[in-house]
């Protein structure tokens, strides 16, 4: 009888505890696609009824959760920023044409306000009700009611994303290689210095009260809520993405070297997932705990919280924009070749086990 060595090898792989995984245990199906006129760089906003995203074709697009286009609005400049939904339900997004655009919760245009520079960043509402965002080399504080504007000047471009911390401070990174910590009066109370640009990597407040963000110096930086240094963890590539604290209490962060890192809250690297090209987009988490990772290798990956690959979807385009979950089984993903995908994930092996290997690294 002729031995089928390939069959034997497959059996060994299946029953070996060291290599067993849940790879490809999910089916991914595109339930709706939309092709815009240029690249998507900003990330989508998912509200209770809409998916909102801007494009470099100068349009802002409004979809329902099933991927049907409801409305589009043309501006006079590229849309690179990510939209924000304000407390009153209105939606705001900045443009390269130096305007902030305001829409109601149904996507109907309300108003626009002009500033002195291109707007790359998201917008937040301060505790005083002011709108705060980056604009060229300034951080803008704007009172929406009277359009009164206050600026904080920086030496270089403000291209990062702004975050409101529980300490009451606002934090935003810049091409000055600094993370600025600003109080509600618009005063800079601390400057945390890195050795690289802080671009798009939004400072994230962890459940233990520590702030973490990435820099082009290839490090994750950990600070207090007031901006004082706590520690650093070196990763193997520039960090453009925003770290994510997962439901199970780990940190997930991706880098230019194409690796997705899984760390403990203390900064110990416990696992890695390797892709074929650099990763710029930030990780996102589905309500069931699974993770979405988009890369320049043109794949959207679905990973378990431990870093096992569950599925991948070929988008045919580089992924700069961060994917977002819509519900338990649906997500939206945009690419630099102008494609927007509404994807459904179906678990084909719900009883499968998950294993992951740990790697020991020096922690904070």
Confidence of residue 10 (pLDDT cuts 50, 70, 90): very low
Residue 18, pLDDT > 50, answer: no
Predicted confidence (pLDDT) at residue 195 exceeds the cutoff of 90? yes
State the Cα–Cα distance between residues 37 and 85, nearest whole angstrom. 25
Phi, psi values for residue 246, rounded to 5°:
-80, 170
- The string of DSSP letters for 164-189 reads E-TTS-EEEE-TTSEEEEE-TTS-EE
Which pairing describes strands 69-74 and 84-85: parallel, antiparallel, or unpaired? unpaired
- How far, in Å, CA of 211 to CA of 351, rounded? 36
pLDDT at position 362 over 70: no
Give the position of tokens 């520079």: 117
pLDDT tens for residues 116-126? 788 888 998 88
Q: How high is the pLDDT of residue 357?
A: 38
Full-model pTM? 0.86
Average confidence (pLDDT) over 314-337: 97
**pLDDT class for 233, splitting at 50, 70, 90?**
very high
Q: Which residue has 């520039």 as its token pair?
A: 238
Report the share of the chain in percent with pLDDT over 70: 86
Interacting residues of 16 by C-beta distance below 8 A, sequence separation 6+:
none
Please give the Cα distance from 198 to 168 (Å, whole number): 21
* CA–CA distance, 287 with 306 (Å, rounded to integer): 15
**CB-CB contact of 281 with 319 (8 Å):** yes
How far apart are the C-alpha atoms of 16 and 22, rounded to whole Å? Answer: 13
**What's the burial of 1, exposed, middle or buried (CB within 10 Å: 0-12/13-18/19+)?**
exposed
Which ranges of the chain does DSSP label H, i.e. alpha helix?
Answer: 5-15
Min mean pLDDT across 31-40, 121-130, 283-292, 336-345 is at 121-130
Q: Sorting pLDDT into bands at 50, 70 and 90, what band is 15?
A: very low
Angle, CA 246 vertex, CA 122 and CA 13 arms, to 5°: 125
Residues with Cβ < 8 Å from 133, sequence gap 6 or more? 94, 100, 119, 121, 122, 123, 124, 139, 140, 162
- Token code pair at residue 260: 């997705």
Quick count: other Cβ atoms within 10 Å of Cβ 40?
Answer: 27
pLDDT tens digits, residue range 126-149? 877 888 888 877 888 888 766 667
Helix H, strand E, coil C: the string for 194-226 is CCCCCCCCCCEECCCCCEEEECCCCEEEEECCC
């Amino acid at each position: 009888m002729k031995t089928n060595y390939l069959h034997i090898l497959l059996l060994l792989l299946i029953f070996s505890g060291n290599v067993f995984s849940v790879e490809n245990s999910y089916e991914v199906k595109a339930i709706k696609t939309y092709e815009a006129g240029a690249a998507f760089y900003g990330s989508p906003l998912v509200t209770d009824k809409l998916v909102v995203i801007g494009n470099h074709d100068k349009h802002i697009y409004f979809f329902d959760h099933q991927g049907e286009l409801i409305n589009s609005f043309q501006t006079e400049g590229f849309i690179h920023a990510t939209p924000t939904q304000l407390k009153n339900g209105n939606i705001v997004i900045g443009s390269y044409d130096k305007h902030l655009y305001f829409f109601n919760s149904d996507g109907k245009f309300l108003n626009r306000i002009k500033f002195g520079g291109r707007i790359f960043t998201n917008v937040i509402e301060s505790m005083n009700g002011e709108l705060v965002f980056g604009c060229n080399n300034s951080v803008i504080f704007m009172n929406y009611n009277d359009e009164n504007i206050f600026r904080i000047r920086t030496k270089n471009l403000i291209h990062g994303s702004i975050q409101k911390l529980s300490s009451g401070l606002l934090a935003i990174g810049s091409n000055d290689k600094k993370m600025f910590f600003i109080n509600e009066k618009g005063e800079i109370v601390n400057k945390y210095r890195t050795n690289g640009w802080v671009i798009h990597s939004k400072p994230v407040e962890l459940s233990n009260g520590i702030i973490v963000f990435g820099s082009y110096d290839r490090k994750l930086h950990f600070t207090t809520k007031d901006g004082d240094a706590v520690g650093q963890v070196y990763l193997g590539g520039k960090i453009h993405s925003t770290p994510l604290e997962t439901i199970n209490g780990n940190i997930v962060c991706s880098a230019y070297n194409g690796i997705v890192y899984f760390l403990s809250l203390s900064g110990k690297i416990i696992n890695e997932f390797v892709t074929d090209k650099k990763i710029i987009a930030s990780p996102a988490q589905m309500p069931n705990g699974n993770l979405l990772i988009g890369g320049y290798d043109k794949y959207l990956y679905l990973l378990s919280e431990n870093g096992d690959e569950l599925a991948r979807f070929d988008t045919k385009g580089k992924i700069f924009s961060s994917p977002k979950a819509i519900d338990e089984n649906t997500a939206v993903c945009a690419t630099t070749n102008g494609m927007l995908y509404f994807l459904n994930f179906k678990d084909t092996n719900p009883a499968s086990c998950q294993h992951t290997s740990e790697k020991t690294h020096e922690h904070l």
